[in-house]
Amino acid sequence: MTVTARAHTNIALIKYWGKSDPQLIIPANSSISMTLDQFYTDTSVDFDPQLTADSFSLDGQEQSGAALQKLSKFMDLVRQRAGHNTFARITSTNHVPTAAGLASSASAYAALALAATRAAGLQLSNKDLTRIARRGSGSASRSIDGGYVIWHRGTDDATSFAEPLPVAPDLDLRMLAVVLDHQPKKLSSRSGMANTVATSPYFPAWAKSSEVAAAAMQAALLAGDFDQIGRLAERSAMMMHATNMAAEPPFTYFNPETLATLDYVHALRDQGMPVYATIDAGPNVKLICPAVNAEDLADLFRQRLGKPVVICAPGPAARVLTTAEMEANAHA
Ligand code: 2P0
């Protein structure tokens, strides 16, 4: 039986950057994210006794080599849990607005975790799903639930899981993706963070201060304190990028347009606009603002930079698609 699941991507307000256990993907610090309504991955899984290996098609392209190997290793975890050795046919489609440059392993492994476990006959709790998704990609643990999510650092496989966070009922934020560049990143998150953990003297300070920042962010979300949320988020991103600049060899994901965009964020804030920035493992900048300011800010950044800006609201949890939705997808 084929099961199709949809998971939305997420952007961290308090970043995950560095592992204490690379095998189990236990992070060095807890992280907090917002799930985005605009970007998601649909993944179908069909276990078939006729197959002699897993197969994986991504956006209509049959995958082989490292991409297939990584996925197959993840499927072994599901097979182990389900107690069988059947291979699967996996088909995945990323739904990301044209050239948004936000393709993410978060939505991919969250959708796969849900589709694969259900297709294998398992009915896992969301908490256990986040633990399985985490083994594919750390940030995927935060794409099982919707809205605002915390991934608890934990100390082992059982205690490193994600769950939704309570927030003030009137909190209404938007995340604006400013698409400066949609080329694949030069250095993967996995290698970038491993290099920083191994060589950056700032790394221990990063991990320690992130734990404090995660606690402060939980309080700010609960209080609906926009300025505090924005300030903590922007600082978390800057601290993450500072650890990279202090690595050996030093590296950065920023490009000149990243800095120009940051400069504009600061100038607007000086003029009283409620806007903060966050940056992940690439040059694109995401803006955090109250919903009422989103359209005006998107226009300002489009005019200033001549680049696309996508407005995202908090997105839903991962879910299994109905047969009717799967058929509609197949004919789209
Ligand atoms: C985050 N990023 O918290 C941080 C901020 C990128 C910058 O999680 O090695 O693809 O698969 O666990 O999850 C990207 O890292 O890395 C990431 P792995 P992942 O969103």
Band (pLDDT 50/70/90 cuts) for residue 323 is confident
Q: Average pLDDT, stretch 103-123?
A: 94
Digit-coded pLDDT (tens) for 277-314: 999 999 999 999 999 999 999 999 999 999 999 999 99
Question: Pocket residues for ligand 1 (CB within 6 Å)?
Answer: 12, 15-17, 25, 31, 105, 137-139, 189-190, 280-281
First-last CA distance in the chain: 21
What is the greatest pairwise CA distance in the chain? 64
- Domains of the chain by start residue, with CATH: 2-167+322-331 (3.30.230.10), 173-312 (3.30.70.890)
Of 105, 132, 149, the one to substitute when testing ligand 1's pocket (max ligand atoms within 8 A of C-beta) is 105
Band (pLDDT 50/70/90 cuts) for residue 328 is confident
Q: Average pLDDT, stretch 192-212?
A: 98
CA-wise closest residue to 41 among 64, 80, 71: 71
pTM of the model: 0.97
Question: Distance from the CA of 253 to the center of ligand 1, in angstroms?
Answer: 13
pLDDT reported for residue 325: 85
Of 70, 137, 188, 243, the one to substitute when testing ligand 1's pocket (max ligand atoms within 8 A of C-beta) is 137
Question: Distance from the CA of 1 to the center of ligand 1, in angstroms?
Answer: 32
* pLDDT exceeds cutoff 80 at 104: no
Question: Distance from the CA of 70 to the center of ligand 1, in angstroms?
Answer: 16
Question: Distance from the CA of 327 to the center of ligand 1, in angstroms?
Answer: 32
Question: Distance from the CA of 272 to the center of ligand 1, in angstroms?
Answer: 32
Band (pLDDT 50/70/90 cuts) for residue 186 is confident
Angle between helix 226-245 and helix 203-223 axes, rounded to 10 deg: 170
Which of residues 77 and 98 earns the better pLDDT score?
Answer: 77
Question: Distance from the CA of 138 to the center of ligand 1, in angstroms?
Answer: 6
C-alpha span between 59 and 41 (Å, rounded) = 10
Band (pLDDT 50/70/90 cuts) for residue 91 is very high
Residue 173: beta bridge partners? 290
Tokens of 128: 């256990």
| Structure-token match 């734990």, residue found | 211
Contact 164, 146 (CB under 8 A): yes
**Helix ranges (DSSP H) in 224-255:** 226-245
Q: Average pLDDT, stretch 175-190?
A: 87
Of 23, 33, 187, 189, the one to substitute when testing ligand 1's pocket (max ligand atoms within 8 A of C-beta) is 189
pLDDT reported for residue 183: 75
Question: Distance from the CA of 33 to the center of ligand 1, in angstroms?
Answer: 11
CA-wise closest residue to 131 among 157, 155, 109: 157
Report which protein residue has its CA nearest ligand 1's atom 14.
Answer: 189
Digit-coded pLDDT (tens) for 139-175: 999 999 999 999 999 999 999 999 999 999 999 999 9
